[in-house]
Structure 1
Amino acid sequence: MRGQGPAFEEFVLASTPTLHRTAVLLTGDPHTARDLLQEALLKAWRSWGRVTGDRVAYVRTIVVREFLTQRRRRWHGERPTEELPEQADTRQGADLETSLTLADAVRALPPQQRAVVVLRYFHDLTEADTARTLGLAVGTVKSHHSRALAALRVSEHLDDVVAGGKGRLA
């Protein structure tokens, strides 16, 4: 295990931003995403010597599967509040509003549908790659994808965006 240290450290430094964004998209919370990523990296580190091929895809698979597993566990810790502290954001006006409403709509999806949307649109994975990452059949991924898009089309979070002519969901 000692020989994998520098290679793993380099991997973590290079891939953490991308993997963290994936975790944030899945969890909807940067702090929970950090915890999720830490657990995934710990699992990856344990088997790092056996990993071949695309290491980012390998760890991304761990992140997604860990997210889906954690969603099934009961947890009685912190509860989100209605009022959030101010957050600095460089985006302005309508772009920020559209981004927030889309994020709210995606967060409202069930976990598996959310995972499919994140993998298909954020990571631009094919249906087959998404199925492989989630450990599902391609037909199941297609069903989740179709249901997620249908839910997003009727989402109350996106009513103003679509009605205002700012966008349209395919």
Structure 2
Amino acid sequence: MESVTPMDDAEAIARSLEGDLSAYEVLVARYSALAHRTAVLFGARDEAEDVVQEAFVKAFRHLASFRRESEFRPWLLRIVANETHNLTRARGRRAELTVRLSATAEVKAPDDPEGAAVATDRRARLLEAVRALPERERRAVLCRYFLQLSEAETAQVLGWPVGTVKSRTYRGLARLREEAGHELG
């Protein structure tokens, strides 16, 4: 029996460019959940599925322009971020962040009900504080800590220099710390 070797991104991209649609399906399967989470975090809400579908279609159409020495994940997430921005701009109002607990890392609730209530309240206050950040700081914090992207990947996704990612992340975290300090004091 022949063993099946998992296809890495570079091979899937090369085969996709040769017309192998099943190779592109590997990329879609590998990155769909992350792309969906990105769209939701950036404000797509109920339309996240449409944004993700459009992003994958655009990525396929522009795959020939993908720089092979780059990583596929941040390139794709930049397309998702742009599609989400286009959607929210088309709505005609400021993008509003809708973060669902399922979009964040799984957090095990404490065994005691009081502890669970406190943990839930803390998460809700943190998410409200993140929603209240200025858009650019919010996007930097979301990419770095909710999507767990590196500074370089965040820069690529958002189309910013790495220094800008660092400063906006720093300012966003400082505002969150300040907010936490106000609630404790």
User: What is the TM-score with the length of structure 1 in the denominator?
Assistant: 0.68
Which one of the candidate residues 126, 137, 156 is aligned to 1:113? 137
More divergent stretch after superposition (61-70 vs 8-17):
61-70
User: What is the CA deviation profile of residues 109-144 of structure 1, one whole-angstrom value per residue up to 9, with x for unaligned ones?
Assistant: 232222211221134333333223322122222221
- Tell me, which stretches of 5 or more residues in structure 1 are unaligned? 81-89, 165-170
More divergent stretch after superposition (41-50 vs 111-120):
41-50
User: What is the TM-score with the length of structure 2 in the denominator?
Assistant: 0.63
2:27 is the counterpart of 1:11: yes
Please give the residue correspondences for 1:51-66 in structure 2 after superposition, counting only pairs within 5 Å.
Answer: 51=66, 52=68, 53-66=70-83
State the distance in 2 between where 1:32 and 1:113 align.
23
State the distance in 1 between where 2:129 and 2:47 align.
19
The structural deviation recorded for 1:98 is 2.4
Match of 1:168 in 2: none
Q: Is the 8 A contact 1:68 1:112 kept in 2?
A: no
Q: Which structure's CA Rg is the greater one?
A: 2
State the distance in 1 between where 2:44 and 2:173 align.
18
2:122 is the counterpart of 1:98: yes
Q: How many residues align?
A: 150
2:180 is the counterpart of 1:163: no
The RMSD of aligned alpha carbons is 3.4
Match of 1:36 in 2: 51
- 2:25 corresponds to which letter in structure 1? E
2:20 is the counterpart of 1:20: no
Q: Is the 8 A contact 1:40 1:59 kept in 2?
A: yes
Please give the residue correspondences for 1:149-160 in structure 2 after superposition, counting only pairs within 5 Å.
Answer: 149-155=173-179, 158=180
- 1:65 corresponds to which letter in structure 2? N
